[in-house]
């Protein structure tokens, strides 16, 4: 509150000292009337017509008509949502006004809005309301990869994007797509420079919706969707597991564990309580589908003096676990309210204030079911023990039943064993529950002051924001007893002879609070803006900016801070030749005094060729613009901690007695060397862009080529110093942190769009793509063999051994290089000796391929829209190629007592040696087989049918006698299909909830 009061006082002080016009003149009044039209020549409803001098406002009616009385020769502003405002001198010649959306579209860039046609290097944007009309989603970035180039989970292959929500660093999940007006992707170094160090990997700026000059409008959406699991892991049943485990024992030269009779009993299924065969992914435990509900209402309106926007949303999602025990109450609920008001205080001063509150709760069971499902073998225990099968004469067991606090459905005790006294099923039935609660509050305000009476074209703008978040878990943690049955069948039927109890039942009723987390963000910016037009051709603008923010987190000593001064200088001649300078003076407390500041200069040049005389006769080209950008951006984004420039001393980890009896000696050890010259890493970049429209806008193109290096990444490198800088005893290191490693990225992105009207059908096709090639250009490393050098390889390189099939027999093992990863036997993986030293060890690891940690080398998207009458069909395809991954979880790599998946069916034996594709099974450790190698590598090339939506807009004639202004219904499906040779691998989730397809029915109404 102190900050708000201070801002208000400062604003009024500033206003008090502004020069004012003392004398007013009496001018002639004239009446203006006409129609305001927009894209496609359609009349614009609720377009604003404003005369600031006369303090009058008019809005167009449903036919786009307006009428207003103003002073002659004063400035009249015509504006509408999604269009750039048009300012004209008031004369009687003014009548119909055309706001051409295609040629005029404001885009939010760093600290200002810019005409889309004047954008400089490395900027892409989407106007989300247009997308939502045909592609409804709740996540703001859903499907954007198929609409703009350069985005593939990161920007231009750099992880660590700065997300700005209305200019404030915030979690992208705190805003829903229905609340968003525009998303801008600041990819190039020049585009992001004004945000300083924290934007060195690019920035995403999300602009939320604002109120409009119009009568109140209410928009509602209701959605009901269903999630359907794509693929579930396939594990062996009890009998088959026992068969293959016996095989593993024999492979190890050991006796089988399970007899044929035991295997038969488990295979027969005659008594699942005695011979357990638990399928953790069966419909008994995992739902075949579950629902999601979403409701949204938006209210907007206002006049010249005040405009308002409010949105409220509630969503609820069910849990994929079946409704048994505490899991029946599992849920995820979210409610949020966002609102803002824009106020025109007087002709010079305007202000905005906004707030957002998010309340979310999720209730779950006190166990990790999915982790257990991936590890617990199917025969270990029966989840339930039937009371009805206890022998009638077993009084001791019936006493246990009588004293149990947990009788499931009045028929079952909770099952368990001595090795599994607690288990996921028992925990779901009797272990209690946990509720996770999250609260987030966001507040922002801003003031804009016109300073034209001081300097023509000068304005001042300031923003201030405070966010709070807190989260915690409330749990009831119950203890419970489980029971293991001893069986007999001497009466000809299976009966429980006795029960063994493990643990005890206890329901304390005590509520536990844990995981409390508090967060705060404080952000501020102030800027002077100057805009000047000279002789209708020379367009000048400048900004001087001071900005910064701090983010505090509970239990974290240092706040995340970003502070910098920014300078923007822009010039264009007649919208033909462009030049722009962006520079930031950044500060970081992560470095020593005297080395905490850095200047980041960037420059962009543009040339609109289509405006040149030699292009006037080229009718195929409607627009063609080239731009080049380059610069240096200082960053501490990858510096892991504070005080790394200091040396660290501590007492020794050990202690010992000296020769003098009873005297205890301790020593002081050095943990790190000092380097007061430690400083910023630098992103050096050069990029070139081309945008154009051809054949009467049938084809539009936007593409960028970029090359950047991040030099001076901070590392602690032992290979650059003598080996005596580090000792193991005493535990000492004189190694300092230094700026050394360099990374390089080269790539391009593009989005191409085709628009065509065929008869009554409007067709639009968009193609997007991003290619990034990364390289570690400088590394501190010391390998005996050059093929192991990381320098010159991709940043996301996969390293491992090259396999050469399986060992066929003992002679093959004898004639092969010596193995150092444990004892090998026939059926184990054989590796290639890369350096010819006759030994297979870590020195034989080589580069295997790109892992795609920074995005696959090439990612692409396709979007297609077809509109006929009131029907709109929309679909998105996305894909990637050129990257690989490892099958390195326990679903693929199984040994010892691991749970077996169906992959073991293809394991090596003497009988299957010619066809086996999986190494021999072992009941011991398989260190040799389960190493990083090309044997486990697979391609992640894929094409996804990501979205399909069909929308029907009811004709306005049908709605004339209803209370609806607009009404639409739609059906959609997302994550529908993956086309890939390794689809079965990529659609699996091991140790987590299943991946899903989503189907949704929705309705949107405007009142």
Rounded Cα distance between 721 and 726, Å, is 9
Q: What pLDDT, on the 0 to 100 scale, is given for residue 15? A: 35
Q: What is the mean pLDDT of residues 134-139?
A: 92
What is the SS3 assignment for 623? Answer: strand
Distance of CA 7 to the CA centre of its chain: 35
pLDDT at 93 over 80: no
Helices (H), ranges, 432-477:
none
- The pLDDT tens digits of the residues spanning 623-679 come to 999 999 999 999 999 998 999 999 988 876 555 555 555 556 667 788 899 999 999
Q: Which residues contact 60 (CB under 8 A, 6 or more apart)?
A: 35, 36, 43, 44, 45, 46, 47, 49, 66
pLDDT at 6 over 80: no
State how beta strands 621-635 and 597-608 pair.
Answer: antiparallel
CA geometry: angle 957, 963, 967, nearest 5 deg: 60
E-assigned strand segments in 321-348: 331-344
Rounded Cα distance between 734 and 726, Å, is 6
The model's confidence at residue 58, banded by pLDDT at 50, 70 and 90, is confident
Tokens of 444: 């922002």
Q: What pLDDT, on the 0 to 100 scale, is given for residue 40? A: 56
The model's confidence at residue 101, banded by pLDDT at 50, 70 and 90, is very low
Q: What pLDDT, on the 0 to 100 scale, is given for residue 675? A: 94
pLDDT at 18 over 60: no
Q: Is there a contact between 542 and 581 (Cβ–Cβ < 8 Å)?
A: no
Q: Is 219 exposed, middle or buried (0-12, 13-18, 19+ CB in 10 A)?
A: middle
- The pLDDT tens digits of the residues spanning 264-323 come to 999 998 899 999 999 999 999 999 999 999 999 999 998 888 999 999 999 999 999 999
What is the 3 state secondary structure string of 202-242?
A: CEEEEEECCCCCEEEEEEEEEEEEEEEECCCCCECCHHHHH
Range of 188-202, 651-665, 947-961 with top mean pLDDT: 188-202
What is the 3 state secondary structure string of 822-866?
A: CCCCCCCEEECCCCCCCEECHHHCEEEEECCCCCCCEEEEEEEEE
pLDDT at 456 over 80: yes
CA geometry: angle 207, 706, 880, nearest 5 deg: 75
Tell me which of 722-726, 875-879, 941-945 is least confident: 722-726
Q: What pLDDT, on the 0 to 100 scale, is given for residue 99? A: 78
Q: Of all helices (H) and strands (E), which one includes residue 978?
A: strand 966-979
Rounded Cα distance between 84 and 840, Å, is 68
- The pLDDT tens digits of the residues spanning 989-1002 come to 999 999 999 999 99
- The pLDDT tens digits of the residues spanning 672-705 come to 999 999 999 999 999 999 999 999 889 999 999 9
- The pLDDT tens digits of the residues spanning 355-412 come to 999 999 999 999 999 999 999 999 999 999 999 999 988 899 999 999 999 999 999 9
Q: What percent of the chain has pLDDT over 70?
A: 94
Rounded Cα distance between 106 and 124, Å, is 12
Closest CA to 607 of 634, 625, 587: 625
Q: How many residues does the chain have?
A: 1007
Q: Is there a contact between 238 and 275 (Cβ–Cβ < 8 Å)?
A: yes
The dihedral through the CA atoms of 591, 597, 599, 600 has a sign that is positive
Q: Which residues contact 484 (CB under 8 A, 6 or more apart)?
A: 381, 415, 416, 417, 418, 499, 500, 502
Q: What pLDDT, on the 0 to 100 scale, is given for residue 656? A: 54
The model's confidence at residue 239, banded by pLDDT at 50, 70 and 90, is very high
- The pLDDT tens digits of the residues spanning 794-844 come to 999 999 999 999 999 999 999 999 999 999 999 999 999 999 999 999 999
pLDDT at 10 over 70: no
Closest CA to 866 of 730, 756, 777: 756
> C-alpha distances in angstroms, 983 versus 230, 894, 938?
11, 21, 11
Q: Is there a contact between 665 and 656 (Cβ–Cβ < 8 Å)?
A: yes
Q: What pLDDT, on the 0 to 100 scale, is given for residue 728? A: 79
Tokens of 762: 């409007």
Rounded Cα distance between 384 and 412, Å, is 6
Rounded Cα distance between 627 and 616, Å, is 20
Q: What pLDDT, on the 0 to 100 scale, is given for residue 336? A: 96
3-state DSSP: the chain helix, strand, coil percent, rounded to 5? Answer: 15, 45, 40
Tokens of 229: 């699991």
E-assigned strand segments in 554-596: 560-573, 577-587
The model's confidence at residue 727, banded by pLDDT at 50, 70 and 90, is confident
The model's confidence at residue 957, banded by pLDDT at 50, 70 and 90, is confident
Q: What pLDDT, on the 0 to 100 scale, is given for residue 2? A: 46
The dihedral through the CA atoms of 533, 538, 539, 544 has a sign that is negative
Tokens of 624: 């063609």
**DSSP code string of 872-940:** EEEEEEEEEES-EEE--STTTS--TTPPPBGGGGGB--TTTTTT--BPPP-SS--TTTSSSBGGGEEE-
Tokens 């040629």 belong to residue: 103
Q: Is 685 exposed, middle or buried (0-12, 13-18, 19+ CB in 10 A)?
A: buried
Q: What pLDDT, on the 0 to 100 scale, is given for residue 798? A: 96
Tokens of 381: 């225990």
> C-alpha distances in angstroms, 252 versus 749, 896, 915, 924, 973?
54, 11, 21, 8, 50
Tokens 């009309």 belong to residue: 133
Peptide linkage before 726 cis (omega within 30 of 0): no
The overall average pLDDT reported for the chain is 90
Q: Of all helices (H) and strands (E), which one includes residue 251?
A: helix 238-251
Q: Is there a contact between 519 and 509 (Cβ–Cβ < 8 Å)?
A: no
Give the residue with greater pLDDT, 3 vs 517: 517
Q: What pLDDT, on the 0 to 100 scale, is given for residue 654? A: 55
Helices (H) and strands (E) in the chain, counts: 11, 54
What does DSSP assign to residue 326?
A: G
Distance of CA 454 to the CA centre of its chain: 45
The model's confidence at residue 12, banded by pLDDT at 50, 70 and 90, is very low
Rounded Cα distance between 602 and 990, Å, is 46
Q: What pLDDT, on the 0 to 100 scale, is given for residue 103? A: 41
The model's confidence at residue 868, banded by pLDDT at 50, 70 and 90, is very high
How many C-beta neighbours within 10 Å does residue 588 have? 24
Rounded Cα distance between 61 and 45, Å, is 6
E-assigned strand segments in 725-828: 726-727, 732-733, 738-758, 761-778, 797-800, 803-806, 818-819
- The pLDDT tens digits of the residues spanning 177-193 come to 999 999 999 999 999 99
């Amino acid at each position: 509150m102190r900050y708000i009061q201070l801002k208000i006082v400062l604003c009024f002080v500033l206003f008090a000292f502004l020069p004012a016009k003392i004398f007013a003149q009496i001018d002639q009044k004239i009446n203006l009337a006409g129609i305001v039209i927009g894209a496609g020549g359609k009349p614009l409803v609720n377009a604003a017509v404003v005369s600031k001098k006369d303090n009058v406002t008019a809005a167009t009616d449903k036919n786009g008509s307006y009428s207003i009385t103003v002073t002659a020769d004063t400035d009249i502003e015509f504006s509408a949502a999604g269009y750039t405002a048009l300012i004209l001198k008031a004369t009687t010649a003014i009548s119909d006004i055309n706001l051409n959306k295609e040629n005029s579209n404001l885009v939010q860039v760093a600290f200002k809005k810019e005409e889309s046609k004047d954008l400089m290097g490395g900027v892409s944007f989407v106007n989300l309301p247009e997308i939502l009309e045909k592609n409804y989603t709740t996540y703001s970035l859903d499907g954007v990869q198929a609409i703009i180039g350069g985005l593939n989970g990161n920007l231009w292959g750099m992880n660590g994007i700065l997300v700005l929500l209305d200019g404030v660093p915030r979690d992208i999940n705190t805003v829903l797509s229905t609340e968003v007006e525009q998303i801008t992707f600041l990819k190039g170094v020049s585009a992001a420079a004004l945000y300083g160090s924290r934007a060195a990997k690019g920035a995403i700026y999300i602009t939320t919706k604002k109120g409009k000059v119009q009568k109140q409008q209410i928009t509602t959406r209701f959605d009901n969707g269903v999630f359907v699991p794509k693929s579930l892991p396939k594990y062996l049943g009890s009998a088959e597991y026992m068969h293959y485990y016996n095989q593993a024992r024999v492979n190890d030269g050991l006796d089988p564990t399970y007899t044929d009779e035991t295997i038969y009993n488990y295979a027969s299924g005659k008594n699942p309580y005695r011979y357990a065969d638990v399928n953790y992914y069966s419909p008994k435990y995992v739902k075949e589908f579950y629902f999601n509900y979403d409701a949204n209402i938006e209210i907007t309106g206002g006049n010249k003096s005040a405009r308002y926007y409010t949105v409220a949303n509630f969503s609820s999602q069910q849990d994929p676990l079946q409704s048994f025990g505490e899991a029946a109450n599992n849920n995820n609920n979210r409610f949020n309210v966002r609102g803002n008001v824009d106020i025109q205080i007087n002709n010079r001063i305007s202000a905005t204030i906004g707030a957002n509150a998010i309340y979310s709760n999720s209730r779950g069971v006190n166990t990790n079911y999915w982790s257990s499902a991936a590890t617990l073998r199917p025969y270990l225990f029966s989840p339930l023990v039937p009371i009805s099968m206890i022998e009638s004469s077993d009084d001791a067991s019936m006493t246990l039943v009588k004293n149990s606090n947990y009788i499931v459905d009045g028929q079952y005790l909770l099952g368990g064993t001595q090795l599994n006294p607690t288990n996921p099923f028992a925990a779901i039935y009797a272990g209690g529950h946990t509720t996770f609660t999250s609260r987030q509050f966001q507040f922002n305000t801003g003031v804009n002051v016109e300073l034209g009476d001081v300097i023509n074209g000068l304005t001042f703008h300031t923003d201030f924001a405070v966010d709070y978040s807190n989260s915690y878990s409330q749990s009831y943690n119950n203890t419970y007893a489980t029971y293991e049955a001893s069986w007999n069948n001497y009466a000809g039927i299976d009966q429980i002879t006795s029960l063994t109890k493990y643990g005890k039942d206890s329901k304390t009723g005590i509520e536990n609070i844990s995981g409390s987390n508090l967060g705060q963000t404080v952000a501020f910016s102030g800027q002077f803006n100057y805009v000047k037009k000279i002789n209708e051709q020379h367009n000048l603008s400048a900004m001087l900016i001071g900005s910064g923010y701090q983010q505090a987190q509970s239990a974290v000593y240092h706040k995340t801070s970003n502070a910098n001064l920014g300078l923007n200088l822009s010039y264009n001649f007649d919208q033909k030749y462009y030049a722009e300078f962006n520079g930031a003076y950044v500060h970081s407390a992560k470095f020593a005094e005297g080395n905490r500041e850095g200047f980041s200069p960037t420059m962009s040049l543009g040339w609109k060729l289509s405006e040149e005389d030699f292009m006037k006769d080229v009718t195929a080209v409607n627009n063609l613009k080239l731009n080049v950008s380059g610069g240096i951006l200082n960053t501490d984004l990858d510096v892991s901690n504070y005080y790394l420039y200091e040396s660290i001393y501590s007492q020794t980890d050990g202690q010992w007695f000296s020769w003098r009896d009873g005297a205890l000696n301790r020593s002081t050890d050095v943990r790190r060397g000092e380097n007061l010259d430690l400083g910023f890493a630098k992103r050096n970049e050069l990029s070139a862009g081309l945008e154009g429209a051809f054949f009467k806008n049938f084809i539009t193109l936007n593409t960028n080529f970029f090359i950047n290096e991040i030099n001076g990444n901070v590392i602690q490198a032992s290979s650059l110093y003598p080996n005596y800088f580090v000792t193991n005893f005493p535990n000492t290191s004189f190694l300092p942190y230094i700026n050394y490693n360099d990374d390089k990225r080269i790539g391009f992105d593009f989005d191409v769009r085709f628009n065509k009207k065929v008869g009554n059908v409007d067709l639009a096709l968009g193609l997007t793509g991003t290619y990034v090639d990364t390289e570690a250009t400088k590394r501190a490393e010391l390998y005996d063999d050059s093929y192991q050098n990381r320098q010159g390889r991709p940043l996301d390189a996969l390293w491992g051994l090259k396999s050469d099939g399986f060992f066929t027999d003992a002679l093959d093992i004898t004639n092969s290089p010596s193995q150092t990863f444990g004892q090998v036997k026939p059926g184990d993986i054989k590796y290639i000796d890369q350096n010819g030293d006759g030994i297979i060890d870590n020195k034989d690891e080589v580069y295997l391929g790109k892992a795609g940690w920074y995005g696959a080398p090439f990612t692409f998207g396709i979007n297609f829209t077809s509109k006929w009458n009131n029907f709109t069909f929309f679909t998105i395809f996305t894909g990637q190629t050129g990257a690989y991954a490892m099958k390195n979880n326990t679903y693929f790599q199984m040994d010892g007592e691991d749970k077996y998946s169906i992959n073991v069916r293809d394991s090596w034996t003497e009988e299957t040696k010619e066809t086996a594709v999986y190494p021999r099974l072992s009941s011991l450790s398989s260190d040799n087989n389960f190493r990083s190698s090309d044997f486990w590598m697979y391609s992640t090339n894929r094409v996804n049918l990501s979205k399909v939506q069909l929308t029907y807009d009811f004709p306005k004639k049908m709605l004339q006698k209803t209370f609806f202004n607009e009404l639409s219904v739609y059906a959609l499906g997302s994550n529908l299909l993956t086309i890939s040779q390794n689809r079965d691998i990529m659609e699996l989730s091991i140790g987590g909830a299943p991946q899903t397809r989503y189907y949704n029915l929705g309705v949107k109404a405007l009142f």
